[in-house]
Structure 1
Amino acid sequence: MFARRSATSTRQLLHAQRRWGSHAAHEPVNEGFGRSLYVTAGSIAGAYILYRISKSTEESDSPSFISGLISKWTPSQETFEQRNAIHTAIMEKVAEDRHLLGSQGPREAIELMQPDMMNTGSPYNVSPGSQADLSAVVAHYKRKNQEIEDARVARMKDGKASSLYD
């Protein structure tokens, strides 16, 4: 039963190919050369004519039209020298800045804003006696923060600050 179905579908497929492919072969078709042939032939002829024109002006010891255009739009040697001098000066300044900033190391100490930051770390495996007394450091930073706060309040009273956080 499966073989019968496949045989009929194959027969229909072959019949469809014959029907669509048979009638186009009997009609005569006039085909031209196309636009591409004429464009190619014109390009080759134009290139040859341009070559001969440029060659004839070179033989008469005068620069060709194309060479004249190139020399007209090419900057002079002095312009290149000025550009190179400016570029060299800029690159020397950049190198100087890079060496200056590259020689500066990171800050030796990190400014701590809160006393709690001093005791950060793991509370486990701390050997006895390793904890230093930090009460003087805590008092220093509390005093420093209080001075900053007093200066801010004084600015607010004088009306010099436009915001609460200036």
Structure 2
Amino acid sequence: MSALRRLPAPTARAIRPTLRSSPRRYAHDAHDAHGSGHLAAEENESFGKGFYFTLALIPTSWVLYKFNDEDSALRKYISSWDGLKEQWADRNKLHTDLIEQAAADRHLFLGQKGSRHVELKYPEMLNQGSPYNVPAGHYANLDKVIEHYKKQNAEEDERAMEAYRQREAAKK
């Protein structure tokens, strides 16, 4: 059974090279059809229709411009674009003002030194570090810090309550 399995594979490999097509030859190759290594004869190329159209367009446009009177449709059409100058001038002014303001803001922010003050939202923020690799007895005593922020929070609550009472009194 195994000999029967091995038989088709070598046969297919032997047939495959005969089925391959010959290599392609392209027109840009520097060899002629016989492969003798001689260059093919050069062919003259024309400039094409676009080149001659452009050559004819230049004097034609000059003649149209030169002999065009004041009341022609072409001049009226071109003069209708004059309003766009003001519109573009307004847009450019607005764009320039915005860019100058952005540059001034950037210089303002880059020129300032950052504040090192961090307001604590809750006292446990100071103990959020990892408890590992801290020698015994080296935890900071936060009692004074906790008292300071509790006092500050109570004062802010009192100010907020006073403002609320004043608003309620003003409504009545």
Return the structure number with greater helix share.
1
Structure 1-normalised TM-score? 0.48
Q: TM-score, normalized by length of structure 2?
A: 0.47
